[in-house]
Structure 1
């Protein structure tokens, strides 16, 4: 098995890290919580669906590294290690794991498994996010759920379906037109 990335794969990983940075800027702050409404879950599902587990995971690691070194790619043009270890950093940390699960599901070419893993991935991301929000903000777990889970889950269920549908269409076209091996 060749672990080296081709030039096309490197370009695609960078492109999708940039797409994630753009989608992260579509952010609506809420007055009652430090967690904004964003298109980040949409972005992670889209990336995992299109790129699969290896390239999708790598794309989100690049996104996190760019933010960690100070490039303002996180929501609200934030960046730095403070964003990753801050109240909403758990969601960021969960993104590559979520993406890997989604990519694994799409590579198995089983739509039921794909959607189950997409929703498990979102729940894992929420678990990372809510636990870190609770710990950093000194909130009880039930209060952290009120601030970091309940206001967002309905939107994110819709985002999973939209991103998965769009991602599957784009994935088919990329494989066909660029002769990419996205699995």
Structure 2
């Protein structure tokens, strides 16, 4: 008698599960990297428009809190170690975008915890992803004002207000993709 897929998945060894989780996290981190190279620089701010938040929000929704945080964490570790993984092939965890990268981890935890591969209504997904976005912006703006010594009004114009329309579109797109396959990666 042949084993069903469900039986095979439930009978996987701990080593097999660890390899699968590690591969999933590394692919997630690599996807964040690729999404950062799709960038639109703005003349009035050092923060470019990228698809990274789309990837972080969708990945966290699919993978849950643990693996959802691990992807941005691996990305941050690679950047901090000097690998040119940031947008524009930059390295390091300094500069204008460092606070946003920390915010990705917080957003991934929140989104992954509240959605985590579960079927959810469209309004719930949108609210959860906007809450995650608020965490990203909070960290980014705190970094601007406290560590880079940028006045709050200037920080709002450089790192928040111009990005709201694009983030609304990215959240709408992530919601549509997630609604089409809420548990796409939950089996990995």
- What TM bracket, shorter-length normalisation? 0.7 to 0.9
SS in 1 for 2:115: helix
Q: Counterpart in 2 of 1:106?
A: 115
> Within the alignment, does 1:25 sit opposite 2:13 as a pair?
no
Q: Counterpart in 2 of 1:88?
A: 97
Say which one has the larger Rg.
2
Quick one: distance in 1 between partners of 2:72 and 2:146?
Answer: 24
Q: CA deviation at 1:168?
A: 4.3
CA RMSD of superposed structures (Å): 2.0
* More divergent stretch after superposition (56-65 vs 166-175): 166-175
Q: Counterpart in 1 of 2:69?
A: 57
Residue 134 of structure 2: which of 117, 123, 146 is its match?
Answer: 123
Listed as ranges, the matches of 1:1-183 within 5 Å are 6-80=18-92, 84-107=93-116, 109-111=119-121, 112-175=123-186, 180=187
Quick one: distance in 2 between partners of 1:109 and 1:155?
Answer: 25
5+ unaligned residues in a row in structure 2: which ranges?
A: 1-13
Whether contact under 8 Å (2:62, 2:184) holds in the other structure is no
TM-score scaled to structure 1, two decimals?
0.85
Whether contact under 8 Å (1:101, 1:121) holds in the other structure is yes
Whether contact under 8 Å (2:47, 2:159) holds in the other structure is yes
Q: CA deviation at 1:135?
A: 3.1
Quick one: distance in 2 between partners of 1:12 and 1:86?
Answer: 29
Whether contact under 8 Å (2:79, 2:86) holds in the other structure is yes
Quick one: distance in 1 between partners of 2:20 and 2:43?
Answer: 43
Q: CA deviation at 1:165?
A: 2.2
TM-score scaled to structure 2, two decimals?
0.83
Whether contact under 8 Å (1:105, 1:113) holds in the other structure is no
1:124/1:173 CA distance change after superposition, 3 Å: closer
Q: CA deviation at 1:114?
A: 3.4
Count, aligned residues: 172
